[in-house]
Amino acid sequence: MRVGVGAGGADAASLVRKAPQPKGLITPAPTSGPVRIDRYWPSPPISALVRHYWIPRWNLPPGARLRQEVLEYPTANLVIEPTVARLYRAQRGRFSRTLEDVGWAFGVLLQPGTARGLLGVSVRTLPMSADLSALALTAVEPLLADVRGRVQAGDDAGAIDVFEGWLAGQMTEPDDDALLIDEIVSAVEADRDLLRVEELADRFGLGVRHLQRLVGSHIGFSPKWLIQRYRLQEAAAALRNDNPPALAELAATLGYADQAHFSREFRSVVGATPHAYGSLARAEREGTA
């Protein structure tokens, strides 16, 4: 079992975006191992709608299985695979997927304000995952055929171009609420001192109830969940470091009243205690897991 954070297992801090990035590969993926995940920035015109693309490919021995568990970002993923294509909204806990045989996926991590604008409904009303063909979208089948053909041929750049052309035809610029929710999520991601819902509301000059409606409509959960998610992503990233901090120090840094409270919340979301999670990460680094 491997546990990561973010779509494709990227660390939260590595994807804080202060300005549109040049289109292209974010970081080269390792060429060895059974699973390769390439990540790409969107083109500047699409960066207001898409955070990044993630394209995993795997080739496992016959009968082998690899379970990957992800503590997701608080936004929706659109994922195209050889036989299915679905929109996934953020999960309350972690998302688990078992890989086997040979396969690939074309993943799109949307900006927090995109899903509501794309579909015209509150994200809170959506199921945790929905077939793209069942949503209020146009030209889905041609998109799927083109993207699948290009990814299968190893043409990631071509698949991204096709997707961006399709997305531009589905919606124009994000509205004011979408831009605001993007700013709110970026603030929580970047500022570890934001620990309370009231502080977040004050930062943006909003009432707490207004903030709750805005976050719930675009993300599907509460502002408290949003803050908790990023702080736990920070904790998971810290515990995977070569020199992880003491748990009491980490809990205090993330604003928890005590280590026991932090440990309970971490376990309820990640599925393992901080100590067990850190031990697993250390064993993976040392090749003994």
Q: Quick one: 224 and 144 in the same domain?
A: no
Q: Which residue, among 235, 233, 232, has the nearest Cα to 246 in the 3D structure?
A: 235
What is the CATH number for 201?
1.10.10.60
Q: Quick one: 259 and 215 in the same domain?
A: yes
Q: How many domains does the chain divide into?
A: 2
Digit-by-digit pLDDT tens for the chain (289 residues) are 344 444 443 443 334 444 556 677 776 666 667 888 999 999 999 999 999 999 999 989 888 888 777 777 889 999 999 999 999 998 877 777 788 889 999 999 999 999 999 999 999 999 999 999 999 999 999 999 999 999 999 999 999 999 999 999 998 789 999 999 999 999 998 898 888 999 999 999 999 999 999 999 999 999 999 998 888 888 888 998 888 999 999 998 888 888 999 999 888 888 889 999 888 878 776 666 5
The domain boundary, picked from 170, 202, 231, lies at 170
Q: Quick one: 162 and 193 in the same domain?
A: no
Q: Quick one: 42 and 78 in the same domain?
A: yes
Q: Quick one: 108 and 187 in the same domain?
A: no
Q: Quick one: 45 and 143 in the same domain?
A: yes
The Cα–Cα gap between 211 and 151 comes to 39
The domain boundary, picked from 111, 144, 170, lies at 170
